[in-house]
Amino acid sequence: MRQTMRAGAIAAVAVFLGACAAAPNTREFVVLVPDQGGTTGAVVITSPRGGSAVLDKPYTAALLEKGESVAPPPVAREQVTKLFTHAIAAQPERPISFQLYFLEDSDEYTLKSKDAFEKVFVEIARRKVAEVAVIGHTDRVGPIEYNDTLSLRRAERVRRDFVDRGIPTGSINVAGRGEREPVVPTADEVSEPRNRRVEINVR
């Protein structure tokens, strides 16, 4: 039995040999590895006979064999890649996010974001199966209703450009948040370029 603490902060990889977890000849090997940001949580390995092992440091390992858990020496990063090649290859790619920025009162990209669009497109096209969320935003210049419409126009512009380059329409969801979720909080009617954006989340 494995118990994970601080879920989402760790990644554990296990190999099973034998018919089922309760069988005497079953072996389970678990290695604790950091997440993409370098954070490590903790895993508690509990055996059917009541023994347990706590993994709370990067690349520590536990082996559950014949109903007993033992803590072997730490595993090197290179060993993890060798031991769990197939498991690592089967993992889905990690989500990634991008930001594109727009000219004031427009759905036209800024000059830098024209170049950034190409990088986003390459990442989406590289993934075998990609789900893309495109969320438009505005600054606080103009009425709320107008900004709702403008933010959606920006999101739809990005979707249209992706579709024109061959990304399936069905894999792209769009939404407009208007001026409600600023990156930089401002007073009403203040122009803020960093709030005139589209967020693109790819997974």
Give me the mean pLDDT over the 57-83 stretch. Answer: 75
Please check whether residues 111 and 42 belong to one and the same domain.
no
Do 84 and 100 lie in one domain? The reply is no
Query: 111 and 177 share a domain?
Result: yes
Percent of the chain with pLDDT over 70: 76
When pLDDT is averaged across residues 170-193 and rounded to a whole number, the result is 97
Per-residue confidence (pLDDT) for residue 188, from 0 to 100: 97
DSSP annotation of 200: E
Phi, psi of 55 (to 5 degrees): -105, 115
Cα-only R_g, the chain: 24
Predicted local distance difference test score (pLDDT) of residue 24: 44
- Which of 29, 64, 90 terminates a domain? The answer is 90
Cβ-based neighbours of 111, under 8 Å, separated by 6 or more: none
Task: Kindly state whether residues 16 and 54 are assigned to the same domain.
Answer: yes
Q: Number of helices (H) and strands (E) in the chain: give both, helices first.
A: 4, 11
Choosing from 67, 90, 113, the residue where a domain stops is 90
pLDDT score recorded for residue 89: 67
